């Protein structure tokens, strides 16, 4: 069975050579139909690197990941396709262990592995800690991301494609929309790719701020799902207040003292982002 490979990019020149080289090694040539990037107007050598690596180039018809992903979806020709982000280096066993979860299984809308940050990243241990709690983790969505995923093309098109989201949370919306259509999203937690996420601590904290910023919009879009548990301002503030105790528990479990400092700052970023998101949604 053939699959298309798609990637949305913006100034990914620093990581793209390694990422594309890994894709070529991990995914068998004989299963690839077409491979293309949807570029958001990169100002570095992203497009040149992709073209020299044998990838076709499309221009994002809009702006951002939602529009880039939907631009890609318009050009998909196969019943299943794979999506990747420009800074995720696939695990060697990704194709071998993720593809059997979905190919030819009509009830599965998406399948993926998980990805961890490099161990020298200040907030590295957050995701391994989440893995120890995957059954009770935040809304049960741990591991459901767009960056190392195989999609059932028909299932994705049946929900209208990738939801338009301003900052983050596309994966959360898709997960529930697929469930509404009686499709499941399977995750193999043993397949662990590398999320390079360049930019240091400040970049990581910006990501958590954007997650918080997205929450009011995501909650508004998920009102139809009565079972969906959302957090309010009070609950987020209480999570921040409890974060020193939580970070101590996490530190002892993961044996990583960086969590003592990282987790409270992360909770603060979530809260500040959420407050800003509320202001934006009420404007």
Q: Residue 217: give the domain boundaries.
A: 206-282
pLDDT score recorded for residue 82: 98
pLDDT score recorded for residue 230: 66
Q: What is the DSSP string of 175-189?
A: HHHHHHTT-EEEEEE
Q: How far apart are CA 24 and CA 50, in angstroms?
A: 12
Q: Which residues in the chain land under pLDDT 70?
A: 134-140, 167, 199, 224-230, 281-283
pLDDT score recorded for residue 125: 92
- The verdict on 121 and 29 lying in the same domain is yes
pLDDT score recorded for residue 140: 55
Q: How many CB atoms lie under 10 A from the CB of residue 255? A: 8
**What number of CA atoms fall less than 13 Å from residue 6's CA on the CB side?**
29
- The verdict on 194 and 225 lying in the same domain is no
- The verdict on 35 and 147 lying in the same domain is yes
pLDDT score recorded for residue 51: 96
Q: How far apart are CA 180 and CA 4, in angstroms?
A: 26
- The verdict on 151 and 221 lying in the same domain is no
Q: What is the CATH number of the domain that holds 80?
A: 3.90.550.10
Work out the burial of residue 145: count CB atoms within 10 Å of its CB; fewer than 13 is exposed, 13-18 middle, 19 or more buried: buried
- The verdict on 56 and 175 lying in the same domain is yes
Q: How far apart are CA 260 and CA 25, in angstroms?
A: 38
Q: How many CB atoms lie under 10 A from the CB of residue 195? A: 20
pLDDT score recorded for residue 68: 95
- Between the alpha carbon of residue 1 and those of residues 4, 77, 80, 92, 103, the distances in Å are 10, 12, 9, 20, 8
- The verdict on 259 and 146 lying in the same domain is no
- The verdict on 98 and 42 lying in the same domain is yes
List for the chain the helix, strand, coil content (%; round to 5). 50, 20, 35
- Between the alpha carbon of residue 198 and those of residues 6, 12, 202, 204, the distances in Å are 21, 10, 10, 9
Domain count, the chain: 2
- The verdict on 12 and 92 lying in the same domain is yes
- The verdict on 109 and 210 lying in the same domain is no
pLDDT score recorded for residue 66: 92
Q: How far apart are CA 169 and CA 147, in angstroms?
A: 13
pLDDT score recorded for residue 110: 98
């Amino acid at each position: 069975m053939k699959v298309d490979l798609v990637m949305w990019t913006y100034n990914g020149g620093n990581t793209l050579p390694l990422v594309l080289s890994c894709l070529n090694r991990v995914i068998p040539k004989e299963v690839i139909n077409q491979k293309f990037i949807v570029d958001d107007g990169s100002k570095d050598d992203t497009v040149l690197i992709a073209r020299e690596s044998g990838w076709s180039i499309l221009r994002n018809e809009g702006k951002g990941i939602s529009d880039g992903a939907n631009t890609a979806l318009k050009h998909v020709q196969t019943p299943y396709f794979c999506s990747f982000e420009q800074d995720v280096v696939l695990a060697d066993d990704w194709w071998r262990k993720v593809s059997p979860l979905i190919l030819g299984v009509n009830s599965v809308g998406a399948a993926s592995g998980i990805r961890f940050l490099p161990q020298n990243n200040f907030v590295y241990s957050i995701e391994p800690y989440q893995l120890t709690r995957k059954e009770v983790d935040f809304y049960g969505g741990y591991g459901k991301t767009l960056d190392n995923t195989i999609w059932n093309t028909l299932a994705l098109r049946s929900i209208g494609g990738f939801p338009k989201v301003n900052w983050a949370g596309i994966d959360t919306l898709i997960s529930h929309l697929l469930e509404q259509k009686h499709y499941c999203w399977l995750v193999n937690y043993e397949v662990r790719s590398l999320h390079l996420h360049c930019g240091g601590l400040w970049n990581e904290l910006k990501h958590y701020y954007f997650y918080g910023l997205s929450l009011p919009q995501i909650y508004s879009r998920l009102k139809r799902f009565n079972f969906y548990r959302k957090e309010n301002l009070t609950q987020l503030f209480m999570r921040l207040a409890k974060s020193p105790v939580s970070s101590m528990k996490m530190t002892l479990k993961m044996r990583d003292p960086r969590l003592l400092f990282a987790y409270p700052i992360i909770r603060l970023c979530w809260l500040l982002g959420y407050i800003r998101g509320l202001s934006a949604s009420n404007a």
